[in-house]
Structure 1
Amino acid sequence: MYVAFNGMECYVGDKAKNQIIANSQNTVFDIHRLIGRKFREDAVQIYAKYWPFNIVSGVDGNPEIEVEYKNNTKRFSTEEILGMMFKYLKETAETFLSQSVKDAVITVPAYYNFSQRQSIIKAAKLGGLNVLRTIAAPVAASIAYAFGKDIDETTVLVFDFGGGTLDVSVLIIENGICEVKSVAGDNHLGGEDIDKRTVIHFVAEFKRKFKKNIGANPRALCRLRIACESAKRDLSSSTQTNIQLDSLLEGIDFYTTITRARFEELSADLFRNTIDSVEKVIRDAKHK
């Protein structure tokens, strides 16, 4: 989900995402990757180089997002940005249900530690929600699967490949009760990492063809990132797709193609890592 700051306005969701090209330095995304982390960590520094918005060291060495908002340079903590997202989700739910929403059960990646869970709870409270508890995302998926069904004892493998994290769990469901047998995954592996591989591929292609570096231009990089995300979706049903970006950098048009085979090759090691997690969770479940 996106949060964008433009003049006196703060946007969340699709309205914020629409700001990513024209207002990239003040449009925040992938914020979940900073949850429970310190600014000095290598992972944070790697993300900061890829994102168009500015990450700085804040209170107690925690990462903060620096943006231009209401005619001032302002800093927001990770929890504050997430709080804006939770507020948006709360208001969306209230509109859909035509009633007030106060309490919530929040799903989190299975590998989240105590500090990360506390950050989520704090953010939800900032968004106006009373958190009854947090629950691992694979467990929530199993509960949803079993809800309203008369299921005998069943073993279920839940594979949750999200935007930024991978969660794989083996659970036993019996009489509506879910027992977690094993958990595996990666807090730094998701669809965004696949997008990044594709972006890097095309940045290199552009530099090879035109001797220009897209990576040094946040606006061009954001346009390419959106195009790569769209291409990924296209390749789910096609064997080849096009990238067509007019005047991507310094008036240069960038027209190119990518095949599904090449796309899969670029992220082959990431796909292997997902299989490794599945194999690990099955092995661990057998030993319990």
Structure 2
Amino acid sequence: MDPNNYNVMGIDLGTTNSCVAVWKNGQIAIVPNDCGKRITPSVVSFLRDGVLVGNAASKKMTVNHKNTVFNCKRLLGHKITDEVIKSDLSLLPYVVVADDDNNIKIQIETSEGETKYYSPEEISAMILRYLRSQAEAFVGHVINDVVITVPAYFTEAQRKATSTAARLVGLNVLQLLDEPTAAAIAYHFEQKSRTQHILVYDLGGGTFDASVLQVSDSTIRVLTHDGDNHLGGEDFDRMLMNYLFFQYEKQKGEDVMNDRVWRARMHAVAESCKLELSVASSSLVEFDNSDFTYSVSRFLFENLNKELFNRTISIVERTLKKAQLSKEQIDNVILVGGSTRIPRIQRLLGERFDNSKICKGINADEAVATGAAIYAAYLSSQQIKQYPSSVLLSLGIELHGGIIEKMIPRGSPIPSYSVLEFTTPTDYQNKILFHIVMGERSLLRNNIVLDTILLEDLPLCRAHEMTIKVKMTVNSNYHLITEVDIPEKVHKVSDIFLGNSVDSAEIPRLIREAEEKAFEDRELVARHTEMSILDCLVEEGHALLNSRNPRMTTDWIQQMNDMLVEIREWMKVNEDADISECQERQQLIRRKLLPVVSR
């Protein structure tokens, strides 16, 4: 394979605009469309003599409003009954209906007087077909393989709908890549510097993502992400549209909000006004064949959207909290998406991060497609290996006391996922270290440790009051993705490529060894379970001694503390102690310490 020309492309399929990049002559190139533009409006217009996509289609949004479709990405993966899209549907100039299963259908009137219905996937497929044709014309050959980006907070249904759209036009999706990760890849490709923590602030036309990633010379690791699938430039447009509708009614005495022609006209001027206000202090709104005009100041636009702008900052702060990082620990902030050009957004970020950390060297419109193309080339350079169709060795986590909880058993089909919920076993536990493991044995020490996730500074609470959720997924690209979540508090992610985790020649030996030692492992698990109970009792004992119960004298506290320290030291050198020895020490704590403080 020619390392200078990989036969792949990266596509940023956006709500408002899309972008496609390829690897050509040893470097990434953004593909210009047939109008010479590097980004393409995500718009499809059905005409009497054919279908237009992109810039040409966007010019038909007012004159052909019933048959011109935009903002389709917001409809992907939704039912028409979903609350989250109802406000969008109320302002669309084209007609959206439902089939018998409440699936969304877009109604198009043909020149023959017939009515046709298209799913959001079919509309998205038309945009993908157009982008593919532009890329193929640019490189001079057919391209079948693609990496398509999606918002980090896209649901499984939305991701599936995106893949379906690609398949409809014969594209082979190498991977759906989260947009913030793609932006980080583009940044890393240019920088290649020391290990850094970066924040990706991705504010596009329809969605907002905030992600914290750790970037080093050889790896890009997603630490955590947060976002809102219904927060972006289109929402800013809608706030301005509603205001202009109000002003129109105030001036003209006529409510035109339910008029689809006026919806299309208002949408067009609101978007144009928003763009102008990024470089000018005011913008004059006016319409053909109407004497209605209104001057919109940047202050007014920012005030209308103040709550939405502040919501993005709240999500950023929540993301940093989940990553357990302060804003001072962020080395660079990468701005992605056209909406990041709004001056108020840049000021809000500048108030929270040093302005020198705001990365200005990456094109906000092109970064995601660039990263997708780089990753597509990487996958292509790996010869798109035929990964196993099932999990070769069991995958799981260590919970407590070195005991492994298998989450995805050996032989599970790929892709597979599993979810585990548990509670903290001891009082006032402020940190937890998770070991992510591969193997068939029951104890941590006899398996392959793939990664660790450390949760620190946890809120202090009693045993079993705090729930922790672990989701483990093996995707079609043979990556193991482990997410550890304490709702509204901490969210951490580990992403590991399994292809390099173990020598395939070793797998039969590891399986055989696990079978031969199954009885021994069962006995060891029983011992370690008792040791784990003893460990919890020691922790609980220390917590009780620190509570300074008035019934406890200083001498007695010292005596009990010495006992607990002695037991802890014994545990360190007797990891595989007999069950009876563990139970004997459990009873010692229960008999001497617990009854006194519980009176």
TM normalised by structure 1 equals 0.95
Counterpart of 1:130 in structure 2: which amino acid?
N
Contact 1:90–1:127 (CA under 8 A) maintained in structure 2: no
Identify which range, 224-233 or 262-271, moves more after superposition: 224-233
Give, in angstroms, the shift of residue 217 of structure 1.
Answer: 2.2
Match of 2:61 among 20, 34, 42: 20
Q: 1:23 deviation in Å?
A: 0.7
> Aligned to 1:233, which of 266, 271, 275?
275
Q: Which residue of 2 aligns with 1:125?
A: 167
Matches within 5 A, 1:37-116: 37-58=78-99, 60-69=101-110, 71=112, 72-116=114-158
- 2:141 partner amino acid: Q
Separation (CA, whole Å) in 2 of partners of 1:167 and 1:177: 21
Extract unaligned runs of 5+ from structure 1. none
Whole-angstrom CA distance in 2 between matches of 1:255 and 1:10:
33
- Within 5 A, what are the aligned runs for 1:110-259? 110-248=152-290, 253-259=291-297
Summarize deviations over 1:79-102 as a string: whole Å, max 9, x none.
111111110110011112222111
For residues 94-122 of structure 1, what are the alpha-carbon distances to aligned partners after superposition, in whole Å with 9 as ceiling and x for unaligned? 11222211100111000112221111011
How many angstroms does 1:246 deviate by?
Answer: 3.3
Q: CA RMSD in A?
A: 1.4
| Distance in 2 of aligned mates of 1:258 and 1:113 | 36
Q: Is 1:94–1:100's contact at 8 Å kept on the other side of the alignment? A: yes
CA contact (8 A) 1:164 1:189 kept: yes
Residue identity in the other structure for 2:53:
V
| Contact 1:80-1:123 at 8 Å conserved across structures | yes
Moved more, 127-136 or 188-197: 127-136
Kindly tell me: are residues 149 and 266 of structure 1, through their superposed partners in 2, closer, same or farther at Cα, counting changes over 3 Å? Answer: closer
Maintained 8 Å contact 1:247/1:254: no
Provide closer, same or farther for how the CA distance between residues 174 and 16 of structure 1 changes in structure 2, counting only shifts above 3 A.
Answer: same
Instruction: Name the counterpart of 1:276.
Output: 314
- Secondary structure at the aligned position of 1:247 is classed as coil
In structure 2, the partner of 1:267 is 305
Q: Once the 2 structures are TM-superposed, how far is the Cα of residue 35 of structure 1 from its aligned partner?
A: 1.2
Is the 2:208–2:229 contact (alpha carbons within 8 Å) kept by the matching residues of 1?
A: yes
How many aligned positions are there? 284
Structure 2 residues without counterparts, runs of 5 or longer: 1-41, 325-455, 457-491, 493-599
Q: Match of 2:286, as an amino acid?
A: Q
Name the SS of the counterpart of 1:89 in structure 2: helix
- Partners of 1:68 and 1:55 lie apart in 2 by 12
How far apart are residue 206 of structure 1 and its match?
Answer: 0.6
TM-score of the superposition, structure 2-length normalised?
0.46
Q: Percent identity?
A: 35
- CA deviations 1:235-262 (Å, max 9, x no partner) are 11222221122324xxxx1111011111
Alpha-carbon displacement from aligned partner over 1:174-208 (angstroms, at most 9, x marks no partner): 12411111101100000010001001101000101
Contact 2:61 2:268 in 1 (8 A): no
Residues 31 and 78 in structure 1, CA contact (< 8 A), matched pair in contact too: yes
Does the Cα contact within 8 Å between 2:282 and 2:297 map onto a contact in 1?
yes
- Cα separation, 2, equivalents of 1:166 and 1:3: 24
Do the aligned residues in 2 keep the contact of 1:56 with 1:65 (CA within 8 Å)? yes
Judged with a 3 Å threshold, the aligned counterparts in structure 2 of structure 1 residues 130 and 240 are, in CA distance, closer, same or farther, namely: same
